[in-house]
A and B are shown apart, each in its own frame.
Chain A
Amino acid sequence: MTEYINQGSKDTRSGFGEGLLELGRQNPEVVALCADLTGSLKMDAFAREFPDRFIQVGIAEANMICIAAGLTIGGKIPFTGTFANFSTGRVYDQIRQSVAYSDKNVKICASHAGLTLGEDGATHQNLEDIGMMKMLPGMTVINPCDFNQTKAATIAIAAHPGPVYLRFGRPKWPNFTPVGQPFVIGKALLLNEGSDVSVFATGHMVWNALEACKILAGQGISAEVIDIHTIKPLDEEAVLASVGRTGCAVSAEEHMRNGGLGDSIAQLLSLKHPAPLEMVAVNDKFGESGKPEELLKKYGLDVPDIVAAALKAIARKQ
Protein backbone atom coordinates (compact mmCIF):
# COMPACT_ATOMS: atom_id res chain seq x y z
CA MET A 1 0.00 0.00 0.00
CA THR A 2 0.96 3.64 -0.31
CA GLU A 3 3.18 4.60 2.61
CA TYR A 4 2.24 7.68 4.60
CA ILE A 5 4.80 9.12 6.97
CA ASN A 6 3.90 11.21 9.98
CA GLN A 7 6.03 14.34 9.51
CA GLY A 8 5.56 15.12 13.21
CA SER A 9 2.25 15.34 15.03
CA LYS A 10 0.63 18.77 15.17
CA ASP A 11 -2.80 20.02 16.11
CA THR A 12 -5.15 20.83 13.26
CA ARG A 13 -6.20 24.06 14.98
CA SER A 14 -2.64 25.30 14.52
CA GLY A 15 -3.04 24.58 10.82
CA PHE A 16 -6.06 26.88 10.92
CA GLY A 17 -4.08 29.55 12.74
CA GLU A 18 -1.23 29.44 10.21
CA GLY A 19 -3.65 29.44 7.30
CA LEU A 20 -5.50 32.42 8.71
CA LEU A 21 -2.29 34.38 9.16
CA GLU A 22 -1.24 33.64 5.60
CA LEU A 23 -4.67 34.69 4.35
CA GLY A 24 -4.41 37.91 6.30
CA ARG A 25 -1.24 38.70 4.40
CA GLN A 26 -2.73 37.71 1.05
CA ASN A 27 -6.15 39.26 1.22
CA PRO A 28 -6.99 42.58 2.92
CA GLU A 29 -10.70 41.71 2.92
CA VAL A 30 -10.18 38.82 5.33
CA VAL A 31 -11.28 39.67 8.87
CA ALA A 32 -11.33 37.40 11.91
CA LEU A 33 -13.71 37.31 14.86
CA CYS A 34 -13.27 35.38 18.06
CA ALA A 35 -15.43 34.77 21.13
CA ASP A 36 -12.79 34.82 23.85
CA LEU A 37 -10.83 31.79 22.63
CA THR A 38 -8.04 33.44 20.66
CA GLY A 39 -5.32 31.24 22.12
CA SER A 40 -7.30 28.01 21.82
CA LEU A 41 -8.12 28.75 18.19
CA LYS A 42 -4.52 29.82 17.45
CA MET A 43 -5.75 33.15 16.16
CA ASP A 44 -3.24 35.20 18.17
CA ALA A 45 -0.75 35.62 15.35
CA PHE A 46 -3.44 37.07 13.10
CA ALA A 47 -4.68 39.29 15.93
CA ARG A 48 -1.16 40.62 16.54
CA GLU A 49 -0.34 41.30 12.92
CA PHE A 50 -3.75 42.65 11.89
CA PRO A 51 -5.29 44.27 14.97
CA ASP A 52 -7.65 46.36 12.82
CA ARG A 53 -9.02 43.27 11.16
CA PHE A 54 -9.37 41.21 14.31
CA ILE A 55 -12.59 41.58 16.28
CA GLN A 56 -12.74 40.30 19.83
CA VAL A 57 -16.43 39.75 20.48
CA GLY A 58 -16.27 38.39 24.00
CA ILE A 59 -18.33 35.43 25.14
CA ALA A 60 -21.22 36.25 22.85
CA GLU A 61 -21.32 33.79 19.98
CA ALA A 62 -24.76 34.77 18.67
CA ASN A 63 -23.58 38.35 18.34
CA MET A 64 -20.38 37.12 16.67
CA ILE A 65 -22.15 35.15 13.93
CA CYS A 66 -24.48 38.03 13.06
CA ILE A 67 -21.70 40.64 13.15
CA ALA A 68 -19.82 38.38 10.73
CA ALA A 69 -22.89 38.25 8.49
CA GLY A 70 -23.08 42.06 8.58
CA LEU A 71 -19.38 42.39 7.73
CA THR A 72 -19.95 40.60 4.43
CA ILE A 73 -22.12 43.57 3.44
CA GLY A 74 -19.21 45.76 2.46
CA GLY A 75 -17.19 42.94 0.95
CA LYS A 76 -15.37 41.56 3.97
CA ILE A 77 -14.61 37.84 4.27
CA PRO A 78 -15.17 37.10 7.96
CA PHE A 79 -13.74 34.03 9.70
CA THR A 80 -15.37 33.30 13.06
CA GLY A 81 -13.50 31.23 15.60
CA THR A 82 -14.73 29.34 18.64
CA PHE A 83 -15.23 25.71 19.71
CA ALA A 84 -17.42 23.48 17.54
CA ASN A 85 -20.06 23.38 20.24
CA PHE A 86 -20.41 27.16 20.36
CA SER A 87 -20.02 27.47 16.58
CA THR A 88 -23.09 25.40 15.79
CA GLY A 89 -25.74 24.39 18.31
CA ARG A 90 -25.47 27.54 20.35
CA VAL A 91 -25.93 29.74 17.29
CA TYR A 92 -27.92 27.55 14.94
CA ASP A 93 -30.68 30.02 14.27
CA GLN A 94 -28.22 32.86 13.74
CA ILE A 95 -26.40 30.76 11.15
CA ARG A 96 -29.66 29.60 9.62
CA GLN A 97 -31.23 33.03 9.10
CA SER A 98 -28.37 35.51 8.88
CA VAL A 99 -25.74 33.33 7.17
CA ALA A 100 -27.23 30.39 5.26
CA TYR A 101 -30.67 31.71 4.25
CA SER A 102 -29.14 35.13 3.56
CA ASP A 103 -26.30 33.48 1.59
CA LYS A 104 -23.55 35.41 3.35
CA ASN A 105 -19.88 34.76 2.78
CA VAL A 106 -19.10 33.78 6.36
CA LYS A 107 -16.50 31.14 7.24
CA ILE A 108 -17.45 29.45 10.50
CA CYS A 109 -14.28 27.90 11.88
CA ALA A 110 -14.75 25.41 14.68
CA SER A 111 -12.06 23.91 16.83
CA HIS A 112 -12.18 21.23 19.54
CA ALA A 113 -14.64 19.16 17.51
CA GLY A 114 -15.41 15.58 18.44
CA LEU A 115 -14.31 13.35 21.29
CA THR A 116 -10.60 14.13 20.97
CA LEU A 117 -11.03 17.40 22.80
CA GLY A 118 -10.74 15.02 25.72
CA GLU A 119 -10.88 16.02 29.36
CA ASP A 120 -13.42 18.84 29.08
CA GLY A 121 -16.09 16.21 28.62
CA ALA A 122 -19.46 16.00 26.92
CA THR A 123 -20.50 19.64 27.41
CA HIS A 124 -17.77 20.58 24.95
CA GLN A 125 -17.48 17.44 22.81
CA ASN A 126 -19.81 18.32 20.00
CA LEU A 127 -20.68 15.24 17.96
CA GLU A 128 -23.66 16.67 16.12
CA ASP A 129 -22.12 19.66 14.34
CA ILE A 130 -21.64 18.06 10.92
CA GLY A 131 -25.28 17.01 10.89
CA MET A 132 -26.55 20.42 11.90
CA MET A 133 -24.42 22.21 9.36
CA LYS A 134 -24.97 19.87 6.43
CA MET A 135 -28.74 20.23 6.77
CA LEU A 136 -28.53 23.94 5.98
CA PRO A 137 -29.07 24.62 2.27
CA GLY A 138 -26.00 26.15 0.65
CA MET A 139 -23.63 25.35 3.50
CA THR A 140 -20.28 23.77 2.62
CA VAL A 141 -18.98 21.43 5.34
CA ILE A 142 -15.27 20.62 5.59
CA ASN A 143 -13.37 18.47 8.08
CA PRO A 144 -9.68 18.24 7.15
CA CYS A 145 -7.54 15.37 8.36
CA ASP A 146 -4.26 16.90 9.54
CA PHE A 147 -2.31 20.11 10.10
CA ASN A 148 -1.21 20.60 6.52
CA GLN A 149 -4.64 19.94 5.11
CA THR A 150 -6.32 22.23 7.63
CA LYS A 151 -3.98 25.04 6.69
CA ALA A 152 -4.65 24.47 2.99
CA ALA A 153 -8.39 24.25 3.58
CA THR A 154 -8.41 27.50 5.57
CA ILE A 155 -6.76 29.29 2.68
CA ALA A 156 -9.00 27.62 0.09
CA ILE A 157 -12.31 28.55 1.68
CA ALA A 158 -11.54 32.28 1.48
CA ALA A 159 -11.73 32.00 -2.29
CA HIS A 160 -14.97 30.05 -2.19
CA PRO A 161 -18.03 32.32 -2.25
CA GLY A 162 -20.73 31.42 0.25
CA PRO A 163 -21.03 30.05 3.76
CA VAL A 164 -18.56 27.41 4.92
CA TYR A 165 -18.29 25.36 8.09
CA LEU A 166 -14.67 24.35 8.73
CA ARG A 167 -14.19 21.81 11.50
CA PHE A 168 -10.93 20.85 13.18
CA GLY A 169 -9.59 19.62 16.49
CA ARG A 170 -7.53 20.12 19.57
CA PRO A 171 -5.01 17.26 19.96
CA LYS A 172 -1.67 16.81 18.29
CA TRP A 173 -2.34 14.34 15.50
CA PRO A 174 -0.19 12.75 12.79
CA ASN A 175 0.59 15.23 10.04
CA PHE A 176 1.11 13.28 6.85
CA THR A 177 -0.37 15.04 3.81
CA PRO A 178 2.23 16.84 1.70
CA VAL A 179 2.98 20.48 2.47
CA GLY A 180 1.39 22.67 -0.16
CA GLN A 181 -0.94 20.00 -1.49
CA PRO A 182 -3.72 21.94 -3.24
CA PHE A 183 -7.02 21.77 -1.41
CA VAL A 184 -9.95 21.35 -3.76
CA ILE A 185 -13.31 21.78 -2.04
CA GLY A 186 -15.62 18.88 -2.80
CA LYS A 187 -12.90 16.65 -4.25
CA ALA A 188 -12.20 13.51 -2.26
CA LEU A 189 -8.60 12.34 -2.01
CA LEU A 190 -7.78 8.77 -2.88
CA LEU A 191 -5.03 7.89 -0.41
CA ASN A 192 -4.70 4.20 -1.06
CA GLU A 193 -6.10 2.12 -3.88
CA GLY A 194 -7.70 -1.14 -2.89
CA SER A 195 -10.08 -3.74 -4.20
CA ASP A 196 -11.87 -5.38 -1.27
CA VAL A 197 -13.42 -2.54 0.70
CA SER A 198 -13.66 1.27 0.51
CA VAL A 199 -12.93 3.16 3.71
CA PHE A 200 -14.30 6.70 3.63
CA ALA A 201 -12.84 8.69 6.48
CA THR A 202 -12.94 12.31 7.53
CA GLY A 203 -10.94 14.44 9.97
CA HIS A 204 -8.75 12.68 12.51
CA MET A 205 -10.20 9.33 11.45
CA VAL A 206 -8.32 9.44 8.15
CA TRP A 207 -5.06 8.57 9.91
CA ASN A 208 -6.81 5.78 11.82
CA ALA A 209 -8.18 4.48 8.53
CA LEU A 210 -4.64 4.37 7.09
CA GLU A 211 -3.46 2.46 10.16
CA ALA A 212 -6.38 0.05 9.78
CA CYS A 213 -5.51 -0.36 6.12
CA LYS A 214 -2.02 -1.55 7.08
CA ILE A 215 -3.44 -4.15 9.47
CA LEU A 216 -5.92 -5.31 6.84
CA ALA A 217 -3.09 -5.60 4.30
CA GLY A 218 -1.33 -7.92 6.75
CA GLN A 219 -4.42 -10.12 6.61
CA GLY A 220 -4.35 -10.11 2.83
CA ILE A 221 -7.16 -7.60 2.49
CA SER A 222 -6.86 -4.72 0.08
CA ALA A 223 -8.58 -1.65 1.49
CA GLU A 224 -9.10 1.54 -0.43
CA VAL A 225 -8.77 4.62 1.77
CA ILE A 226 -10.43 7.85 0.72
CA ASP A 227 -10.14 11.14 2.58
CA ILE A 228 -13.54 12.83 2.48
CA HIS A 229 -12.43 16.23 3.70
CA THR A 230 -15.53 17.84 2.21
CA ILE A 231 -18.64 16.25 3.64
CA LYS A 232 -20.91 18.63 1.78
CA PRO A 233 -20.99 18.77 -1.17
CA LEU A 234 -20.07 15.10 -1.06
CA ASP A 235 -17.85 13.86 -3.90
CA GLU A 236 -20.49 11.42 -5.06
CA GLU A 237 -18.53 10.43 -8.13
CA ALA A 238 -15.52 9.35 -6.06
CA VAL A 239 -17.66 7.41 -3.58
CA LEU A 240 -19.64 5.60 -6.27
CA ALA A 241 -16.54 4.84 -8.34
CA SER A 242 -14.77 3.37 -5.33
CA VAL A 243 -17.68 1.25 -4.16
CA GLY A 244 -18.13 0.20 -7.77
CA ARG A 245 -14.61 -1.26 -7.57
CA THR A 246 -14.74 -2.74 -4.06
CA GLY A 247 -18.41 -3.60 -3.55
CA CYS A 248 -18.61 -2.50 0.10
CA ALA A 249 -17.82 0.44 2.31
CA VAL A 250 -16.86 1.67 5.76
CA SER A 251 -17.33 5.23 6.96
CA ALA A 252 -15.22 6.61 9.81
CA GLU A 253 -15.74 9.92 11.57
CA GLU A 254 -15.44 11.55 14.94
CA HIS A 255 -19.14 12.39 15.01
CA MET A 256 -22.54 11.01 15.80
CA ARG A 257 -23.70 8.30 13.42
CA ASN A 258 -26.98 10.19 12.93
CA GLY A 259 -26.32 13.06 10.60
CA GLY A 260 -22.66 12.43 9.91
CA LEU A 261 -20.55 11.43 6.94
CA GLY A 262 -21.70 7.79 7.13
CA ASP A 263 -25.27 8.96 6.96
CA SER A 264 -24.52 10.93 3.76
CA ILE A 265 -22.78 7.91 2.22
CA ALA A 266 -25.64 5.60 3.22
CA GLN A 267 -28.08 7.92 1.54
CA LEU A 268 -26.01 8.05 -1.63
CA LEU A 269 -25.43 4.30 -1.80
CA SER A 270 -29.03 3.37 -1.11
CA LEU A 271 -30.19 5.75 -3.85
CA LYS A 272 -27.59 5.00 -6.50
CA HIS A 273 -25.57 1.89 -5.74
CA PRO A 274 -26.82 -0.32 -2.90
CA ALA A 275 -23.87 -1.98 -1.16
CA PRO A 276 -22.98 -3.05 2.39
CA LEU A 277 -21.87 -0.12 4.56
CA GLU A 278 -20.52 -0.22 8.10
CA MET A 279 -20.34 3.00 10.08
CA VAL A 280 -17.59 3.82 12.53
CA ALA A 281 -19.09 6.68 14.53
CA VAL A 282 -20.50 7.46 17.95
CA ASN A 283 -23.87 5.80 18.23
CA ASP A 284 -26.43 7.99 19.97
CA LYS A 285 -24.36 8.76 23.05
CA PHE A 286 -22.79 11.80 24.67
CA GLY A 287 -19.07 11.65 25.34
CA GLU A 288 -17.28 12.05 28.68
CA SER A 289 -14.00 13.18 30.19
CA GLY A 290 -10.88 11.22 29.35
CA LYS A 291 -7.79 11.17 27.21
CA PRO A 292 -8.47 11.32 23.48
CA GLU A 293 -7.14 7.83 22.82
CA GLU A 294 -9.15 6.36 25.73
CA LEU A 295 -12.30 7.99 24.43
CA LEU A 296 -11.78 6.85 20.86
CA LYS A 297 -11.36 3.33 22.15
CA LYS A 298 -14.41 3.39 24.41
CA TYR A 299 -16.69 4.91 21.78
CA GLY A 300 -15.59 2.59 18.99
CA LEU A 301 -13.48 4.95 16.87
CA ASP A 302 -10.12 3.24 17.28
CA VAL A 303 -8.04 1.53 14.59
CA PRO A 304 -9.29 -1.99 15.51
CA ASP A 305 -12.86 -0.74 15.19
CA ILE A 306 -12.20 0.27 11.60
CA VAL A 307 -10.55 -3.09 10.91
CA ALA A 308 -13.56 -4.93 12.37
CA ALA A 309 -15.99 -2.77 10.39
CA ALA A 310 -14.08 -3.50 7.18
CA LEU A 311 -14.17 -7.25 7.79
CA LYS A 312 -17.88 -7.06 8.54
CA ALA A 313 -18.61 -5.08 5.39
CA ILE A 314 -16.63 -7.56 3.30
CA ALA A 315 -18.48 -10.48 4.90
CA ARG A 316 -21.79 -8.90 3.95
CA LYS A 317 -20.90 -8.79 0.27
CA GLN A 318 -22.86 -11.33 -1.73
Chain B
Amino acid sequence: MLSIQELEKIATQVRRDIIRMVHGASSGHPGGPLGSTDFLVALYFKIMKPDPGKFTMDGVGEDLFFLSNGHLSAGWYSVLSRYGYFGTDELGSFRKMGSRLQGHPATAEGLPGIRMSSGSLGQGLSVSIGAALAKKLNHDEHLVYCLMGDGELQEGQNWEALMFAAGNKVDNLIAVVDYNGVQIDGPNEKVLPMGDLRAKFEAFGWNVLPMYGNDMEEVVDTLKKAQWFTGQGQPVMILMTTHMGFGVDFMTDDHEWHGVFPNDAQTKTALEQLNETLEDY
Protein backbone atom coordinates (compact mmCIF):
# COMPACT_ATOMS: atom_id res chain seq x y z
CA MET B 1 0.00 0.00 0.00
CA LEU B 2 1.51 3.28 -1.07
CA SER B 3 1.42 6.07 1.47
CA ILE B 4 0.29 9.60 0.68
CA GLN B 5 3.94 10.68 0.77
CA GLU B 6 4.90 7.98 -1.71
CA LEU B 7 2.06 9.04 -4.02
CA GLU B 8 3.23 12.65 -3.75
CA LYS B 9 6.73 11.60 -4.74
CA ILE B 10 5.37 9.87 -7.83
CA ALA B 11 3.32 12.96 -8.66
CA THR B 12 6.40 15.17 -8.46
CA GLN B 13 8.23 12.89 -10.87
CA VAL B 14 5.25 12.87 -13.22
CA ARG B 15 5.31 16.67 -13.20
CA ARG B 16 9.01 16.57 -14.06
CA ASP B 17 8.22 14.18 -16.89
CA ILE B 18 5.52 16.52 -18.21
CA ILE B 19 7.91 19.49 -18.32
CA ARG B 20 10.67 17.44 -19.93
CA MET B 21 8.32 15.83 -22.49
CA VAL B 22 6.78 19.10 -23.60
CA HIS B 23 10.18 20.77 -23.69
CA GLY B 24 11.64 17.83 -25.61
CA ALA B 25 8.87 17.95 -28.17
CA SER B 26 8.93 21.74 -28.38
CA SER B 27 5.16 21.44 -28.32
CA GLY B 28 2.31 20.24 -26.16
CA HIS B 29 0.18 21.27 -23.23
CA PRO B 30 1.91 21.61 -19.84
CA GLY B 31 -0.71 23.49 -17.81
CA GLY B 32 -3.59 21.01 -17.74
CA PRO B 33 -1.63 17.86 -16.93
CA LEU B 34 0.32 19.59 -14.15
CA GLY B 35 -3.00 20.46 -12.50
CA SER B 36 -4.52 16.99 -12.78
CA THR B 37 -1.36 15.00 -11.95
CA ASP B 38 -2.37 14.26 -8.36
CA PHE B 39 -5.68 12.83 -9.48
CA LEU B 40 -4.17 10.60 -12.16
CA VAL B 41 -1.46 9.31 -9.83
CA ALA B 42 -3.99 8.55 -7.09
CA LEU B 43 -6.36 6.91 -9.56
CA TYR B 44 -3.81 4.50 -11.02
CA PHE B 45 -1.53 3.83 -8.04
CA LYS B 46 -4.10 3.79 -5.25
CA ILE B 47 -7.63 3.39 -6.58
CA MET B 48 -7.84 1.39 -9.84
CA LYS B 49 -4.55 -0.48 -9.60
CA PRO B 50 -5.00 -2.28 -12.95
CA ASP B 51 -2.57 -4.98 -14.03
CA PRO B 52 -0.43 -3.28 -16.70
CA GLY B 53 0.88 -6.62 -17.94
CA LYS B 54 -2.61 -7.82 -18.78
CA PHE B 55 -3.88 -4.89 -20.79
CA THR B 56 -6.72 -5.78 -23.14
CA MET B 57 -8.85 -3.48 -25.22
CA ASP B 58 -12.03 -4.97 -23.72
CA GLY B 59 -10.86 -4.42 -20.15
CA VAL B 60 -13.28 -6.99 -18.78
CA GLY B 61 -12.71 -7.55 -15.05
CA GLU B 62 -10.89 -4.29 -14.40
CA ASP B 63 -11.66 -0.64 -13.80
CA LEU B 64 -11.37 1.57 -16.87
CA PHE B 65 -10.21 5.14 -17.31
CA PHE B 66 -10.98 7.45 -20.22
CA LEU B 67 -9.31 10.81 -20.78
CA SER B 68 -11.80 13.04 -22.53
CA ASN B 69 -9.61 16.15 -22.61
CA GLY B 70 -6.93 14.43 -24.65
CA HIS B 71 -4.58 17.39 -24.59
CA LEU B 72 -3.61 16.24 -21.09
CA SER B 73 -1.76 13.43 -22.86
CA ALA B 74 1.70 14.21 -21.44
CA GLY B 75 0.51 13.62 -17.89
CA TRP B 76 -1.42 10.48 -18.77
CA TYR B 77 1.50 8.99 -20.69
CA SER B 78 3.83 9.67 -17.79
CA VAL B 79 1.45 8.03 -15.30
CA LEU B 80 0.90 5.02 -17.60
CA SER B 81 4.62 4.61 -18.02
CA ARG B 82 5.51 5.12 -14.35
CA TYR B 83 2.78 2.63 -13.45
CA GLY B 84 4.34 0.04 -15.74
CA TYR B 85 2.40 0.00 -19.00
CA PHE B 86 5.53 0.76 -21.02
CA GLY B 87 9.13 1.76 -20.42
CA THR B 88 9.88 5.30 -19.28
CA ASP B 89 12.46 5.68 -22.05
CA GLU B 90 9.56 5.89 -24.48
CA LEU B 91 8.39 9.15 -22.86
CA GLY B 92 11.14 10.93 -24.76
CA SER B 93 9.41 10.12 -28.04
CA PHE B 94 6.34 12.22 -27.11
CA ARG B 95 4.91 14.03 -30.15
CA LYS B 96 7.73 12.90 -32.43
CA MET B 97 7.51 11.06 -35.75
CA GLY B 98 6.84 7.35 -35.38
CA SER B 99 5.97 7.60 -31.69
CA ARG B 100 3.22 5.68 -29.95
CA LEU B 101 2.87 8.81 -27.81
CA GLN B 102 0.85 10.87 -30.25
CA GLY B 103 0.11 14.52 -29.55
CA HIS B 104 -3.32 13.42 -28.41
CA PRO B 105 -4.00 9.88 -27.19
CA ALA B 106 -4.62 7.39 -29.99
CA THR B 107 -5.33 3.70 -30.21
CA ALA B 108 -3.88 3.26 -33.70
CA GLU B 109 -0.30 2.94 -32.44
CA GLY B 110 -1.26 0.25 -29.93
CA LEU B 111 0.04 2.01 -26.80
CA PRO B 112 -1.00 -0.14 -23.82
CA GLY B 113 -3.38 1.61 -21.46
CA ILE B 114 -5.26 3.54 -24.12
CA ARG B 115 -8.66 2.37 -25.30
CA MET B 116 -9.99 5.41 -27.11
CA SER B 117 -8.63 8.28 -29.13
CA SER B 118 -9.42 11.68 -27.69
CA GLY B 119 -8.55 15.27 -28.35
CA SER B 120 -11.61 16.52 -30.13
CA LEU B 121 -13.47 17.54 -27.00
CA GLY B 122 -16.80 16.51 -25.59
CA GLN B 123 -16.81 12.82 -26.50
CA GLY B 124 -15.21 11.08 -23.52
CA LEU B 125 -18.18 11.11 -21.17
CA SER B 126 -20.39 9.44 -23.78
CA VAL B 127 -17.70 6.85 -24.46
CA SER B 128 -17.38 6.20 -20.73
CA ILE B 129 -21.13 5.71 -20.47
CA GLY B 130 -20.95 3.14 -23.27
CA ALA B 131 -18.13 1.29 -21.52
CA ALA B 132 -20.09 1.41 -18.25
CA LEU B 133 -23.18 -0.01 -19.97
CA ALA B 134 -21.05 -2.81 -21.42
CA LYS B 135 -19.84 -3.60 -17.89
CA LYS B 136 -23.43 -3.85 -16.70
CA LEU B 137 -24.35 -6.11 -19.62
CA ASN B 138 -21.32 -8.26 -18.84
CA HIS B 139 -22.17 -8.37 -15.12
CA ASP B 140 -18.74 -6.89 -14.52
CA GLU B 141 -18.72 -5.09 -11.17
CA HIS B 142 -15.79 -2.84 -12.01
CA LEU B 143 -16.07 0.91 -12.44
CA VAL B 144 -15.46 3.37 -15.24
CA TYR B 145 -13.69 6.69 -14.62
CA CYS B 146 -13.61 9.66 -16.93
CA LEU B 147 -11.64 12.90 -16.72
CA MET B 148 -12.96 15.96 -18.51
CA GLY B 149 -11.87 19.56 -18.69
CA ASP B 150 -14.06 22.38 -17.44
CA GLY B 151 -13.86 24.37 -20.67
CA GLU B 152 -14.79 21.14 -22.42
CA LEU B 153 -18.20 21.34 -20.78
CA GLN B 154 -19.04 24.03 -23.31
CA GLU B 155 -19.40 21.22 -25.84
CA GLY B 156 -23.10 20.40 -25.95
CA GLN B 157 -22.59 16.66 -26.23
CA ASN B 158 -21.56 16.57 -22.55
CA TRP B 159 -25.04 17.66 -21.56
CA GLU B 160 -26.58 14.94 -23.71
CA ALA B 161 -24.36 12.51 -21.86
CA LEU B 162 -25.10 13.96 -18.42
CA MET B 163 -28.83 13.67 -19.09
CA PHE B 164 -28.51 10.12 -20.38
CA ALA B 165 -26.36 8.80 -17.54
CA ALA B 166 -28.71 10.03 -14.83
CA GLY B 167 -31.84 9.05 -16.75
CA ASN B 168 -30.52 5.54 -17.25
CA LYS B 169 -29.00 5.13 -13.77
CA VAL B 170 -25.47 4.56 -15.02
CA ASP B 171 -24.20 4.23 -11.47
CA ASN B 172 -20.94 2.42 -12.20
CA LEU B 173 -19.42 5.61 -13.57
CA ILE B 174 -17.33 8.27 -11.81
CA ALA B 175 -16.76 11.37 -13.90
CA VAL B 176 -14.26 14.00 -12.86
CA VAL B 177 -14.23 17.58 -14.07
CA ASP B 178 -10.87 19.31 -13.84
CA TYR B 179 -12.21 22.63 -12.63
CA ASN B 180 -9.19 24.87 -13.03
CA GLY B 181 -11.27 27.77 -14.31
CA VAL B 182 -9.16 28.46 -17.36
CA GLN B 183 -9.18 27.52 -21.00
CA ILE B 184 -7.14 28.50 -24.05
CA ASP B 185 -8.52 31.98 -24.54
CA GLY B 186 -8.62 32.86 -20.86
CA PRO B 187 -10.70 32.31 -17.73
CA ASN B 188 -13.92 30.32 -18.26
CA GLU B 189 -15.75 33.28 -16.82
CA LYS B 190 -14.58 35.47 -19.67
CA VAL B 191 -14.77 32.93 -22.49
CA LEU B 192 -18.19 31.55 -21.63
CA PRO B 193 -19.46 31.65 -18.07
CA MET B 194 -20.81 28.25 -17.06
CA GLY B 195 -22.58 29.29 -13.89
CA ASP B 196 -22.96 27.02 -10.92
CA LEU B 197 -21.63 23.72 -12.21
CA ARG B 198 -22.46 21.80 -9.06
CA ALA B 199 -26.08 22.95 -9.21
CA LYS B 200 -26.24 22.08 -12.89
CA PHE B 201 -24.89 18.56 -12.39
CA GLU B 202 -27.24 18.01 -9.48
CA ALA B 203 -30.16 19.30 -11.50
CA PHE B 204 -29.20 16.77 -14.16
CA GLY B 205 -29.46 14.02 -11.53
CA TRP B 206 -25.83 13.38 -10.63
CA ASN B 207 -24.37 12.81 -7.19
CA VAL B 208 -21.75 15.57 -6.97
CA LEU B 209 -18.68 15.51 -4.75
CA PRO B 210 -16.49 18.60 -4.56
CA MET B 211 -12.77 17.99 -4.19
CA TYR B 212 -9.57 20.00 -4.11
CA GLY B 213 -7.46 18.17 -6.64
CA ASN B 214 -3.99 19.30 -5.63
CA ASP B 215 -3.97 17.68 -2.22
CA MET B 216 -3.13 14.01 -2.45
CA GLU B 217 -4.84 13.04 0.78
CA GLU B 218 -8.05 14.77 -0.21
CA VAL B 219 -7.91 13.22 -3.69
CA VAL B 220 -7.54 9.70 -2.33
CA ASP B 221 -10.25 10.19 0.29
CA THR B 222 -12.71 11.68 -2.18
CA LEU B 223 -12.11 8.96 -4.75
CA LYS B 224 -12.82 6.35 -2.07
CA LYS B 225 -15.96 8.20 -1.12
CA ALA B 226 -16.99 8.35 -4.75
CA GLN B 227 -16.54 4.58 -5.05
CA TRP B 228 -18.82 4.16 -2.07
CA PHE B 229 -21.50 6.21 -3.83
CA THR B 230 -21.51 3.98 -6.91
CA GLY B 231 -24.15 1.30 -7.35
CA GLN B 232 -26.83 3.48 -5.81
CA GLY B 233 -28.78 4.40 -8.90
CA GLN B 234 -26.96 7.64 -9.65
CA PRO B 235 -23.84 8.50 -11.63
CA VAL B 236 -21.14 10.20 -9.57
CA MET B 237 -19.42 13.45 -10.48
CA ILE B 238 -16.34 14.82 -8.78
CA LEU B 239 -16.03 18.54 -9.26
CA MET B 240 -12.27 18.76 -8.89
CA THR B 241 -10.88 22.21 -8.25
CA THR B 242 -7.26 22.40 -9.38
CA HIS B 243 -4.63 24.91 -10.25
CA MET B 244 -3.61 24.72 -13.86
CA GLY B 245 0.18 24.47 -13.98
CA PHE B 246 0.39 23.32 -10.34
CA GLY B 247 3.92 22.65 -9.15
CA VAL B 248 5.62 25.25 -11.32
CA ASP B 249 5.14 28.74 -9.89
CA PHE B 250 5.27 30.73 -13.11
CA MET B 251 2.81 28.40 -14.85
CA THR B 252 0.25 28.26 -12.04
CA ASP B 253 -3.20 29.62 -12.88
CA ASP B 254 -1.96 31.18 -16.11
CA HIS B 255 -3.97 30.28 -19.19
CA GLU B 256 -1.00 31.27 -21.36
CA TRP B 257 0.51 27.91 -20.37
CA HIS B 258 -2.35 25.90 -21.81
CA GLY B 259 -0.56 24.95 -24.98
CA VAL B 260 2.89 26.57 -24.90
CA PHE B 261 6.17 24.74 -24.35
CA PRO B 262 8.80 26.14 -21.96
CA ASN B 263 12.12 27.30 -23.40
CA ASP B 264 15.43 26.02 -22.02
CA ALA B 265 15.69 28.57 -19.22
CA GLN B 266 12.06 28.14 -18.20
CA THR B 267 12.50 24.38 -18.24
CA LYS B 268 15.54 24.67 -15.95
CA THR B 269 13.59 26.89 -13.53
CA ALA B 270 10.60 24.55 -13.59
CA LEU B 271 12.71 21.46 -12.93
CA GLU B 272 14.42 23.18 -10.00
CA GLN B 273 10.98 23.35 -8.41
CA LEU B 274 10.32 19.63 -8.98
CA ASN B 275 12.77 17.24 -7.37
CA GLU B 276 13.74 14.10 -9.21
CA THR B 277 12.04 11.55 -6.98
CA LEU B 278 12.18 8.56 -9.29
CA GLU B 279 14.73 8.35 -12.06
CA ASP B 280 14.29 10.72 -14.98
CA TYR B 281 13.67 8.90 -18.24
- CB within 8 Å of B: which residues of A? 31, 52-53, 55, 57-58, 60, 62-63, 65-76, 78, 93-94, 96-98, 101-104
Contacts and interface: CB of A to CB of B under 8 A. Distances in A.
Given A75-B58, A75-B138, A69 B130 contact: yes
Contacts of A58: 160, 163-164, 167
Interface string B122-152: 1110111111111101101000000000000
A172 B132 CA distance: 39
A75 B60 CA distance: 9
Nearest to A53: B137
Given A57-B164, A63-B126, A73-B58, A101 B137 contact: no
B135 A74 contact: yes
Contacts of B163: 58, 60
Interface string B54-74: 000111100010100000000
A103 B132 CA distance: 19
Given A63-B126, A98-B116, A98-B117, A70 B133 contact: yes
Contact of B134 (A57, A62, A73, A98): A73
A68 B130 CA distance: 6
User: Chain A's interface: helix, strand, loop or mixed, by majority?
Assistant: helix
Nearest to A33: B130
A74 B137 contact: yes
Given A58-B164, A97-B120, A74 B59 contact: yes
B7 interface: no
A162 B32 CA distance: 33
A63 B160 contact: yes
Contact of B108 (A53, A63, A103): A103
Given A69-B127, A102-B107, A74 B138 contact: yes
A37 to B, nearest CB: 16
Contacts of A102: 106-108, 116-117
B259 interface: no
Interface residues of B, number: 39
B106 A101 contact: yes
A93 B160 CA distance: 16
B117 A73 contact: no
A60 B128 CA distance: 16
Given A62-B160, A102-B117, A76 B127 contact: no
Contact of B140 (A68, A74, A94, A103): A74
B117 A67 contact: no
B119 interface: yes
Closest 6 CB pairs of A and B: A70-B130, A74-B134, A66-B126, A60-B160, A63-B160, A67-B130
A67 B129 contact: yes
B134 A71 contact: yes
A67 B164 contact: yes
Given A74-B134, A75-B60, A103-B108, A67 B126 contact: yes
A9 B160 CA distance: 38
A165 B106 CA distance: 22
B131 A71 contact: yes
Of B57, B60, B160, most A-chain CB atoms within 10 Å: B160
B115 interface: yes
B106 A63 contact: no
B253 to A, nearest CB: 30
Given A55-B133, A75-B138, A70 B117 contact: no
Interface string B151-168: 000001100110110011
A72 B161 CA distance: 17
Nearest to B168: A55
